[in-house]
Each structure stands twice: as structure tokens, then as C-alpha cells.
């Protein structure tokens, strides 16, 4: 359990959120007001307007989100909406935890000193992975130090749902993205996560969908 409607005005109205998700066909659990793994998994479906079979990762991601979101302070409607909107854009609506494109595409990252890719093959090895598409050896090293996940020697570990969520939450918290989310500043949140404004329109779409089901 993460949080319930009884914890204050900044927290979810869990019951109404679950009812909204149920009416849209994304949630089939008990209407109990508890924002836990099942409700969080349903929010992933709602963000991408997908049914469960199209997002087989959703149960495992929902379980990991239930574990890691609240300790990082990602526990208000705005914070969760912005976090999941960014994650939806980076993971093609939670359908993959590895950047699409293949080795030919990842070659664009080769010898990119700004990403810490200084050895041949780093571009492919340290392509985008995880819930927020961690890219580049320097970012993998930083996450390894923050989380203890040995993603430098085994970058594929960020493709595991639990590691994908933990690494994303740690990155979000270490870059103070909650403050930008509190201001409802999508442009700033996107700059923190993406480094630019790539996919801003899609991020806005995901954000609007989430705001449409999450209630105070």
C-alpha cells in the first residue's frame, strides 16, 4: 500500500481514481481506495490507452512502482502524473524497457563524450534502458553508484521491471523533478528527463490522460 484518501488533500482520492479507471475499462480490482500495485498497473494502461494484453509488463511495473514511488515522494496526483507521463513517452507506453532501433541506430551514441561513451562499442552497450531511458555510460555509472545495480558491467539489468523503476525513481529524485512536477511545468520536467524537448507533444498527451483519471 502506498497512500489512501485519508492522508490529506495532496494525496489521491483512491476510490474516485479507481472508479474512473474502472469506467474506462483499465481496472478490474476492488474499489477500496488504496493506490497499490493493481491501481498503479492500471494507470500505466490508461496512459497509453491500452488493454492489459498489450502491456504484459504492467503487473511487474505496478508492483515495483508500489515499492519505490512513495519513499521518493512521488505520491501526489501531479507528481505521479508527470512521472508516469515521462515514463510512458520513454517506453512506448510501457511496452518496452529498451530503446528501439537496433545497433545501427545506437551507433549514433558512439564516441559521445557528453554521454561518457569513450570506447568503441559504448554506444550500443549503453543505449537507452529502463523506465526513463537511461542512455550513455556516464549515466549508467551514476545509477550504479546511486542504486547498487551493476548496470555498468551488466546494462541489461535495467530491462528488468524492478531495476527499471528503481533507477528511474532515483534519477527523478536526484534531479529534484518533484519540484517541477509540483509547478505543473511539463517543459521543465521534460528538460530534466530528456535533456531537451523531444516528444513534448506526446508527453502532454500522456499527462492529460493521467490527469483525466487521477483525482484528489
- Which set of grid coordinates corresponds to residue 131? 523506465
Residues 77, 35 share a domain: yes
Tell whether 185 is covered by a domain.
no
* Band of residue 215 on the pLDDT scale cut at 50, 70, 90: confident
Residues 30, 90 share a domain: yes
Residues 64, 48 share a domain: yes
- Mean pLDDT value across the chain: 93
pTM, two decimal places: 0.93
Tell whether 175 is covered by a domain.
no
Tell whether 54 is covered by a domain.
yes
Residues 29, 10 share a domain: yes
Residues 109, 80 share a domain: no
- pLDDT single digits (tens) 19-63: 999 999 999 999 999 999 999 999 999 999 999 999 999 999 999
- pLDDT single digits (tens) 200-214: 999 999 999 999 999
Residues 43, 16 share a domain: yes
- Residue 153, pLDDT > 50, answer yes
Domain count, the chain: 2
Residues 88, 47 share a domain: yes
Range of the domain at 28: 5-94+196-211
- pLDDT single digits (tens) 104-137: 999 999 999 999 999 999 999 999 999 999 999 9
Amino acid at each position: 500500500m502506498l497512500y489512501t484518501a485519508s492522508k490529506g488533500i495532496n494525496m489521491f482520492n483512491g476510490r474516485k481514481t479507481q472508479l474512473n479507471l474502472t469506467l474506462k475499462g483499465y481496472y478490474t480490482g476492488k474499489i477500496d481506495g488504496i493506490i497499490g500495485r493493481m491501481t498503479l498497473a492500471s494507470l500505466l494502461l490508461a496512459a497509453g490507452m491500452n488493454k492489459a494484453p498489450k502491456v504484459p509488463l504492467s503487473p511487474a511495473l505496478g508492483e515495483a512502482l508500489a515499492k519505490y514511488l512513495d519513499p521518493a515522494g512521488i505520491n501526489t496526483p501531479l507528481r505521479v502524473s508527470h512521472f508516469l507521463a515521462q515514463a510512458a513517452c520513454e517506453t512506448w507506453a510501457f511496452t518496452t524497457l529498451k530503446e528501439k532501433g537496433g545497433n545501427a541506430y545506437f551507433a549514433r551514441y558512439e564516441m559521445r563524450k557528453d554521454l561518457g561513451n569513450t570506447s568503441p562499442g559504448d554506444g550500443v552497450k549503453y543505449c537507452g534502458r529502463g523506465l526513463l531511458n537511461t542512455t550513455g555510460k556516464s549515466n549508467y555509472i551514476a545509477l550504479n553508484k546511486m542504486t547498487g545495480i551493476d548496470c555498468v558491467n551488466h546494462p541489461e539489468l535495467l530491462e528488468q521491471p524492478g531495476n527499471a523503476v528503481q533507477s528511474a525513481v532515483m534519477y527523478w529524485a536526484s534531479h529534484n523533478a518533484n519540484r517541477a512536477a509540483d509547478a505543473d511545468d511539463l517543459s521543465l520536467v521534460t528538460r530534466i528527463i530528456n535533456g531537451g524537448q523531444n516528444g513534448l507533444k506526446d508527453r502532454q498527451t500522456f499527462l492529460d490522460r493521467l490527469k483525466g483519471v487521477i483525482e484528489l
